[in-house]
């Protein structure tokens, strides 16, 4: 089925001016960008987005990193979009990410790992609604 998922191109990618390269890999994987905006998250916005991780030891650094520069938030659409996006992203840690994946090719570290992608269809819906109004998504 054609579904939607949520993606963030992280500050390490905006800093290196590779948002186009990342988007090209998403598109070549069969995903369509149906909403996109460049934003600089507030601390409150980043803490709310990553609330599920707030007890993790890396939470503070994760939030600091995600507000260290602009990001590009996107809604991606395609056949089984959530899984398709996870496949093209590669493993969270670039040391474990396969060649040809976004993180395998472009990520700098487990923190500066270039992209975030939703890990379930349920979370995709929550994450899309966190950043986008329905009318901002144009399929």
Return residues touching ligand CMP (CB under 6 A).
53, 58, 62, 92, 110-111, 113, 116
Q: Which residues contact 137 (CB under 8 A, 6 or more apart)?
A: 4, 34, 35, 75, 128
Name the residue among 20, 15, 28 with its Cα closest to residue 85: 28
Residue 135 Cβ, how far from ligand CMP at the closest point, in Å?
26
For ligand CMP, the closer of residues 33 and 112 by Cβ is 112
For ligand CMP, the closer of residues 9 and 34 by Cβ is 9
For ligand CMP, the closer of residues 21 and 50 by Cβ is 50
Annotated binding site for ATP: 10, 58, 86, 92, 103, 113
- Look up residue 117 and give its two tokens: 């992608």
What phi, psi does 32 have (nearest 5°)?
-115, 130
Q: Which residues contact 23 (CB under 8 A, 6 or more apart)?
A: 9, 33, 74
Residue 138 Cβ, how far from ligand CMP at the closest point, in Å?
25
Q: Tell me which of 81, 116, 124, 127 is the catalytic residue.
A: 116
Residue number with the smallest Cβ distance to ligand CMP: 116
Is 116 in the active site?
A: yes
Judge contact between 17 and 139, C-beta under 8 A. Answer: no
**Catalytic residue list:** 116
């Amino acid at each position: 089925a054609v579904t939607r998922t949520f993606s963030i191109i992280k500050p390490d990618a905006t800093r290196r001016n590779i948002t186009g390269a990342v988007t090209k890999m998403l598109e070549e994987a069969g995903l369509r960008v149906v909403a996109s905006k460049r934003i600089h998250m507030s601390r409150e916005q980043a803490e709310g987005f990553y609330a599920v991780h707030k007890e993790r030891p890396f939470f503070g650094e994760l939030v600091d990193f995600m507000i260290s520069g602009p990001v590009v938030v996107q809604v991606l659409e395609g056949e089984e979009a959530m899984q398709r996006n996870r496949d093209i992203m590669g493993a969270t840690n670039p040391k474990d990410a396969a060649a040809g994946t976004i993180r395998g090719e472009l990520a700098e570290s487990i923190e500066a790992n270039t992209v975030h992608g939703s890990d379930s269809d349920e979370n995709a819906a929550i994450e899309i609604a966190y950043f986008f109004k329905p009318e901002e998504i144009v399929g």
